[in-house]
Amino acid sequence: MGVHTKQLRGYHILDDETALSAYKGLVNRAMLASGRAYTYDQGASGSPDGVLTLGATGKGSGLWRARVQQAVNLRDYITVPSGQNATSQVQKAVNYCIATGRSLYVPGGPDIYIANVLINNSLTIFGDSNRSVFALAEDDAYCFVIDTLNQTCLRDVFMVSPPSYGLNTGGMYVTGGNSYSVIDNCFFLNCQQSIHLHNAAFQTIKNNRFLAGRYGVWVENQPHPDGGDSIIEKNKFCGNSLASIFYRSSGGLMVYKNKFLPHNGVENGVAFNMTLAPGAQTVDLFIQQNSIESYTNYGIILQMGAGSQFYDVLISQNQIVDYSANPTNTNIAINGDGGTLENVFVTDNILKNKGDAIYANNVNGFLSTDNIIDSFPSLNLTNTRAYNLTNTVTNHKVFGNIQKRQALADILPNGDGTNLVAYGASQSLSSGQKVQARTNIGAMTVSDLKLSAVTTGSGVQYAPILTLPGSSGASYDGSIVEVALGGYSSNAKKVLTINVGQRDAFIANAICQGDNGAPGKVVAYQNADNSTTLYAVVDSYMEVGVFYIKTVQSTPVTTLALSSSTPTGTLIYDSSVTKPNLEVGSDFVRAGGNMIPSVLEKAGAPSTTDIPDKSWRLVDNTSDGSVKLYYNKGGTLKSVTLS
C-alpha cells in the first residue's frame, strides 16, 4: 500500500491507519502551531461555520475536522481569488465570531477586499499590523460599519481605499449608540473619512496612523452635552487634505499627544477643525500635548454653528509650528459668532506663527497665559502678531506670556491685564520688527490699554497718546499715564509716570525713572477748541510704550501713530523743561530738578558735570583722602572741607 501524505500547517499526516496513529502524536503540536485540534469524522461532509476541514485521502468518506478553540482565522473563510470581493466570506466569519464569542484574527497575506461589513454586536478583530490589509471593494463605502451598543475592538490592521476610487471611501463607520469601543494601532490610507463617529460615545482611538486622506477622524455625535466623552490619543496624521480631526458635535472630547505632519510635501488641512453643527451642545473639550507641524489656514479652529453652545475649552501644552507656505496662517482661532461660546483657557503652549498666533472673537470668558509665541527669525515676516482679540471678547485676561519677533502690535480689548512692553536689546529683524520680549502684568483699573511702537530713522516724531476735554474752567480728577521711552542706538531708557488734569487750567506733574535728560519726552498742546492733547516725542529708532493706569474724562488712543509733523496748537507742557517731582537714576536722585546729596568717589576735584547747577554733593577725593561738600552755584563750585 502506497503511503500518501497531506500537509497540515507544516506537519505531514499519513493516510489510512498510519494517519490515525500519527494524529495522536501530532495533535498537541498541531494545536500549538495552528490554534486548532484536528479529529477524524467518518460521516462528516460540507463546510459548517467555524469548522476547518481537510479531505481524508484514502478514505471512502469523512473529513479531518478542526473546530476553532480561541480566535477564528479569517483567511480560513476566504475562498475567492486574491483581488476579488470577499465581503460575504468576511461577513460570515464576523457573524460566527459574534455568535460564539470568539475573536477574529487576520493573518498577514494578500489584501482582503470588502465593503460595509456589518458588526452588530461586541467583537474583537486583530491582525499582524500592516501585513493584514483590508481594501475597499466598492466606491462610496466603508470597510466596516459598527452598529451596536456593545463594545468593539479593532487593532493591528490596515485599511486602504484603492486609488481608482479616489477619496470617496472610508475605513470605519461607528454608529448605533456604540460605546467604549477601541481602535488601536491601525493604518488608514487614502480614505474620505478614515474613522467616522456618528452617535457613538466613550470611544478610544489611539496609536493609529492616518495617511493621505481627506479626514482622519470625523466626530459627529448626538447634539447634547453627554453624547461623546471620547479620547483621541497618540495618533499620527500625515497629509490629510481637509482636516485631520473634524469635530461637529459631541460631549467631552480629549485630544491628547497626537502628531500632525505633512506627507510627501502635502500639508494637512486644518489640524483640528471644530465647526459645530447647528444646535450642538458641547462641554469639556481638552486639547493637550499635541505637536502640529503641518496645516492649512488654521492649526486649531473652533467655529460655532447657528444656535450651538460650547462651554469649557482647555488648549494646553501644545506645540504648533507653521512650516506651511501660507504667510498668514493662524495657530489658534476661536470664533463664537452664531452661538454661545464660554470659558476658553489657552495656556502653556509653544506657538511659532506666520500670521496671528491666537485669534478670538465673541467669547465670554477668555484666559491666555504662560504661552511662548515666536516667529521665524530668518524669514523677515511682516504679518506676525501674537494676539488678535476683537471687542466682542469679554471677561478676559491675557498675561504672563513671552512674545518674540512679532511684527504687528497686539489687538486687545480694553479691560484685560495685558502687555506693558519691555523690549529686548537685540534686533535680528528690520526696524519695524523689533524683538519684543514682553513682560505682561495684571490689570490695575478700568482703563488700561497698552500700546507700543518702534520708530524708523525719520528724526523727531510725535505720537498722540491722550486727549483731555476742551471746556474752559473745567475741574476734574487727573488721568495717570505711564510712558516708557528707550533709545535704540544709545540704549538710554527712562519711564515717565505723568498725572495730568484740569483745575481751571491744565496741570501736570511727573516722576521719572532714569535720566530725564535722555532722549524722548512727553509734551502737551492746547488745541483751538481748548482741548489738550498729550504727545510722546521720540527720535530715530526709539522705542515707546504707553500704559494707561487711570483715565478720567479723557480719551486714550487705540494705536500709536507716529508723525514727523509738529503738532498744531499751543505748547503748554514739556517734560524735559518742567522738571519732574522726582527723578531716580542709577547713581543719583533729584527732587524738582535738584540733586539730593550723594557720595561721589573721585580721584581729584569734581567738575560741574558731576554736580548740576543748584545741586550739592559729598566728594571723597581718593587722591588726597579729603572729604568735601560741594555746591554748584550758577556754574561755580563752592566747597566746604569736612575732613
More confident of the two residues 91 and 47: 91
Q: Is residue 333 part of a domain?
A: no
- Of the pLDDT bands very low, low, confident and very high (cuts 50, 70, 90), residue 559 is confident
Q: Are both 467 and 577 inside the same structural domain? A: yes
223-225-229-231 Cα dihedral, nearest 10 degrees? 70
Statement: residue 445 has pLDDT above 50: no
| CA 367 to chain centroid | 14
Statement: residue 93 has pLDDT above 70: yes
Which cell numbers in the block locate residue 119? 458588526
Statement: residue 475 has pLDDT above 60: no
- pLDDT given for residue 444 in this prediction: 32
pLDDT tens digits, one per residue of 500-529: 887 667 888 888 888 788 888 999 999 988
- What is the mean pLDDT of the segment spanning 54-62? 54
- pLDDT given for residue 7 in this prediction: 40
| Ordered DSSP codes for 41-66 | ETT--S--TTEEEEE-TTSSS-EEEE
pLDDT tens digits, one per residue of 283-303: 888 999 999 987 888 999 999
Q: Are both 30 and 62 inside the same structural domain? A: yes
| Residues in contact with 391: Cβ distance below 8 Å, sequence separation at least 6, in sequence order | 413
Can you tell me the distance from the alpha carbon of 643 to that of 206, in angstroms, rounded to the nearest whole number?
A: 83
Q: Are both 576 and 601 inside the same structural domain? A: no
Q: Is residue 234 part of a domain?
A: no
Q: Is residue 256 part of a domain?
A: no
- What is the mean pLDDT of the segment spanning 538-543? 85
Statement: residue 86 has pLDDT above 80: yes
Statement: residue 388 has pLDDT above 50: yes
- What is the mean pLDDT of the segment spanning 321-326? 82
| Residues in contact with 65: Cβ distance below 8 Å, sequence separation at least 6, in sequence order | 38, 39, 40, 41, 44, 51, 52, 53
Q: Cα–Cα–Cα angle for 465, 470, 474, nearest 5°?
A: 115
Can you tell me the distance from the alpha carbon of 21 to that of 239, in angstroms, rounded to the nearest whole number?
A: 59
Q: Could you say which of 35, 68, 101 is where a domain stops?
A: 68
Statement: residue 240 has pLDDT above 80: yes
Cβ atoms 267, 296 nearer than 8 A: yes
- Of the pLDDT bands very low, low, confident and very high (cuts 50, 70, 90), residue 439 is very low
Q: Is residue 163 part of a domain?
A: no
- What is the mean pLDDT of the segment spanning 317-321? 96
- pLDDT given for residue 290 in this prediction: 96
**Across 180-325, where does the E strand assignment appear?**
182-184, 187-189, 193-198, 200-201, 204-206, 209-211, 215-220, 230-233, 236-238, 243-249, 253-256, 259-261, 270-275, 281-288, 291-292, 298-303, 309-316, 319-321
Q: Is residue 168 part of a domain?
A: no
Strand pairing partners for 463?
536
Place of cell 506663527: 353
Q: Are both 469 and 579 inside the same structural domain? A: yes
Q: Are both 524 and 563 inside the same structural domain? A: yes
Q: Could you say which of 41, 68, 95 is where a domain stops?
A: 68
Q: Are both 579 and 607 inside the same structural domain? A: no
Which domain does 479 fall in, by range?
A: 461-583
- What is the mean pLDDT of the segment spanning 295-315? 91
Q: Is residue 188 part of a domain?
A: no
Q: How far apart are the first and last CA of the chain?
A: 135
Place of cell 515676516: 381
**Phi, psi of 76, deg, nearest 5:** -70, -15
Give the count of domains, the chain.
3
- pLDDT given for residue 336 in this prediction: 94
Cβ atoms 415, 442 nearer than 8 A: no
Q: Are both 631 and 548 inside the same structural domain? A: no
pLDDT tens digits, one per residue of 332-380: 999 999 999 999 999 999 999 999 999 999 999 999 999 999 998 878 7
Q: Are both 566 and 468 inside the same structural domain? A: yes
Q: Are both 15 and 52 inside the same structural domain? A: yes
Statement: residue 32 has pLDDT above 80: no
- pLDDT given for residue 16 in this prediction: 41
Q: Are both 577 and 636 inside the same structural domain? A: no
Cα–Cα separations (whole angstroms), residue 83 to 110, 191, 484: 8, 19, 74
- Of the pLDDT bands very low, low, confident and very high (cuts 50, 70, 90), residue 530 is confident
Statement: residue 109 has pLDDT above 90: yes
Statement: residue 587 has pLDDT above 50: yes
- Of the pLDDT bands very low, low, confident and very high (cuts 50, 70, 90), residue 154 is very high
Q: Range with the lowest mean pLDDT among 12-16, 397-401, 534-538, 549-553?
A: 12-16
Answer positive or negative: Cα dihedral of 44, 48, 52, 57. positive
Averaged confidence pLDDT in the chain: 79
Q: Give me the amino acid identity at 332.
A: I
Percent of the chain exceeding pLDDT 90 equals: 37
Q: Is residue 298 part of a domain?
A: no
Q: Give me the amino acid identity at 86.
A: A
Q: Is residue 134 part of a domain?
A: no
Statement: residue 631 has pLDDT above 70: yes
- pLDDT given for residue 10 in this prediction: 38
- Of the pLDDT bands very low, low, confident and very high (cuts 50, 70, 90), residue 596 is low
More confident of the two residues 450 and 324: 324
- pLDDT given for residue 433 in this prediction: 29
pLDDT tens digits, one per residue of 178-200: 888 999 999 999 998 999 998 88
- pLDDT given for residue 167 in this prediction: 59
Q: Are both 604 and 568 inside the same structural domain? A: no
- pLDDT given for residue 39 in this prediction: 52
Strand pairing partners for 167?
none
DSSP state of 530: S
> 3-state class of 522 per DSSP?
strand
Q: Could you say which of 534, 561, 583 is where a domain stops?
A: 583
Q: Are both 545 and 616 inside the same structural domain? A: no
Which cell numbers in the block locate residue 394? 469679554
- pLDDT given for residue 117 in this prediction: 97
- Of the pLDDT bands very low, low, confident and very high (cuts 50, 70, 90), residue 269 is confident
Cα–Cα separations (whole angstroms), residue 207 to 233, 234, 397: 7, 5, 36
